[in-house]
Structure 1
Amino acid sequence: MPSIRDVARLAGVSHQTVSRVLNEHPSIREETKQRVLDAIRQLDYRPNQAARALVTSKLNLIGILSATVGEFGPTASIAAIEEAAREEGYSVTTLNLPDTSPEAIGGAVRQLLREQVDGIVVLAPQVRVFHVLRGMAIGVPFVSLQTASGALEESVAPDQLEGARMATRHLIELGHVDILHLSGPQDWIEADSRMRGYLQALRDADLPTIPPIRGDWTADFGHYAGLELARRQDFSAVFAANDLMAIGLMHGFRDAGLDVPRDVSIVGFDDIPVAAHVWPPLTTVHIDFADLGRRAIARLLASLRGEAPSAEEPPAPALVVRDSAAPRR
């Protein structure tokens, strides 16, 4: 691995000058700084973070507080956060919450602070998490990838309510009148936003509402719901709050002898990679979770530098039309 002295030799400066460039010392001339940066790129030099921390008292460490283990969206966002943080010279440590009790949340935040993180990204989908964070003196900047009534202002979040409206409107435009909603768990921000979007779309179209069914995000629950719902004749379409439940739902309907979309239309949410490859390919709402992760890091680093956050809006949801929804017979 190249050392700081290798960089100094290539740039034609002392190793102390390289160190000043790495630590953003204000007295370095721009021409000298550029030569050092060019040498760093040419040699692919990686500063020793532990050694830098002894000098600067900074570990350049971002903490991720996650209560969404296994969920596609947060997993994609975390991967993007890690990549974007590395590009800015930061390492990432991720702490997964075993549960979202106030004690567990407080303990997790204190653990990240003991690790001397410079900032925290919160991927916790329950409203109660934000209530706990509001009452804590965290002392470092943080940003959330969720937003809801009672959540924090420091959020970078997609308009999930509008995404759910788009999904429901698509079924309405296909002529469906009795549209059922398979929602996510109670107290989850995404579940609440997507259910409100569904209800708003029905109200806007002056259509009757059917009490939503609370699910748990899993394909297993979707399969069970499909078997049970197949006994009913009071709906012709279902908007599922995520793709896994939608895929399980299609499986359950098929096992019960119903054809999708001839007998019942289905729309999901998230656009997970497998959604395009199930049968029939799933119509769903696409969210760019990776872009959300990159925007979260940009907002957090702006806060660390004392800069105003970008006013750029998060990416809008997009309806991806495939074959699981058809005109009402």
Structure 2
Amino acid sequence: MNDHAPDRVDPELGRGRAPNIRDVARLAGVSYQTVSRVLNDHPSIRPSTRERVLEVIAETGYRPNPAARALVTSRSRTIGVLTSQSFQYGPATSIAAIEIAARDAGYRSSVTSIASTDVTSIRAALDYLMSQSVEALVVIAPQQRVLEVIAEIAPDVPYVTLQTADLADGHGMSTDQTLGARLATRHLIELGHTEILHISGPQDWIEAEARMQGYLEEIDAADLRTRAPILGDWSAHFGYYAGLELLRFRDFSAVFASNDQMALGFMHACRDMDLRIPEDISLVGFDDIPEAAHFAPPLTTVRQNFSEIGRRAVALLMAELRGAVPDHDLVVPELIVRESTAAPPPGMRG
């Protein structure tokens, strides 16, 4: 064995998991593409590197997936999509747009979901996609933790995340969430509201943090009293029970909910408390899900163009694959004014 070979004790492999190409790459101190080139007898590999990789393969008992050989010998024409919430309206819409845009570009898409946001689950999902020799990757995973792990792993293919965050580091493509929240809050301020509550999404969710920041920035710009946002969980259930609690005191005249589902639950609470929207309380949501126009009353909300985000993500990846400079401009959100907002009641006017 080479005296300079790295320590190959790997606790993950000790738990019965079959070794994969990334395990071999990590233990040999090379990229997974180098391992693939060794497996395909590529002439550009140095003999010492080849020997080191083959030693690790023999030691770990790695057996290559036949699809992995396509990484060098042929193009897979596949874009991988890594998601943790494909069942929700926004991600599902973006995934559909990605599939269509990829097909129009001569590619197919392969979608896999992350079981949880721990490192093992994220690595397993990435390994699955890489075993299919994806040429590029779209990450639809809204938690900060997921982006941290993706940044640490640093996939060896072009990738884009459908979130705006510093961690995206030039890989982001998203709606301008902060601007959308400012539009929602400014709309309420322009109607005359001075006491505005924000029901936020959960901590560690990138969109929730950006929308909260936009709300706080707009409140500060208008020199209004800053109120601590209420941390929610995106569900109508939370919006309902938060509404019942908040409306017991009712020292506010407007609410900006971080998504339409929580706004729906808040509407339900208002009905149970015999309060009218917008006569007693104004309400703004975020996302503009298809049902928002059919709430009672129809919901004023911030529209995200999820299909456009998906299309732009694929266009960005195609540019990178061609060696061109990709366009990372944020998608501009739109305030959709319906019937859930109005001037505050006389007793709540500033």
The two structures have a TM-score, normalised by structure 1, of 0.81
In 2, Cα distance between equivalents of 1:309 and 1:117: 19
Matches within 5 A, 1:136-285: 136-285=153-302
Matching residue of 1:297: 314
Matching residue of 1:317: 333
Question: 1:119-177: CA deviations, max 9, x gaps?
Answer: 11001111111211121142111111101133331111111101100100101111111
Residue 69 of structure 1 deviates from its aligned partner by: 3.1
Residues 54, 228 of structure 1: CA spacing in aligned structure 2 closer, same or farther, 3 A cutoff?
Answer: closer
1:59 matched to 2:76: yes
In 1, Cα distance between equivalents of 2:234 and 2:280: 23
Letter of the 1:310 counterpart: D
Matching residue of 1:100: 117
Letter of the 2:254 counterpart: A
Q: Is the 8 A contact 1:156 1:314 kept in 2?
A: yes
3-state SS of 2:311 partner:
helix
Question: 1:265-306: CA deviations, max 9, x gaps?
Answer: 100000111101111000000111100100000111111122
For structure 2, the residue ranges without an aligned partner over 5 or more in a row are 1-66, 346-350
Q: Is the 8 A contact 2:164 2:176 kept in 1?
A: no
Matching residue of 1:72: 89
3-state SS of 2:199 partner:
strand
The aligned length equals 277
Question: 1:204-229: CA deviations, max 9, x gaps?
Answer: 00000111111111111111112222
Residue 89 of structure 1 deviates from its aligned partner by: 1.3
1:111 matched to 2:128: yes
Residue 203 of structure 1 deviates from its aligned partner by: 0.2
1:328 matched to 2:328: no
Q: Is the 8 A contact 2:82 2:138 kept in 1?
A: yes
Question: 1:50-70: CA deviations, max 9, x gaps?
Answer: 9xx799612211110011232
In 2, Cα distance between equivalents of 1:168 and 1:304: 40
In 2, Cα distance between equivalents of 1:201 and 1:93: 40
Letter of the 1:316 counterpart: V
In 1, Cα distance between equivalents of 2:71 and 2:240: 55
Letter of the 1:209 counterpart: T
In 1, Cα distance between equivalents of 2:247 and 2:93: 34
Q: Is the 8 A contact 2:71 2:133 kept in 1?
A: no
For structure 1, the residue ranges without an aligned partner over 5 or more in a row are 1-49
Task: Find 1:306's aligned residue among 323, 331, 344.
Answer: 323
Matching residue of 1:12: none
3-state SS of 2:95 partner:
helix
Residues 149, 54 of structure 1: CA spacing in aligned structure 2 closer, same or farther, 3 A cutoff?
Answer: closer
3-state SS of 2:248 partner:
coil
Q: Is the 8 A contact 1:230 1:258 kept in 2?
A: no
Q: Is the 8 A contact 1:127 1:151 kept in 2?
A: no
Matching residue of 2:9: none
In 2, Cα distance between equivalents of 1:137 and 1:327: 50
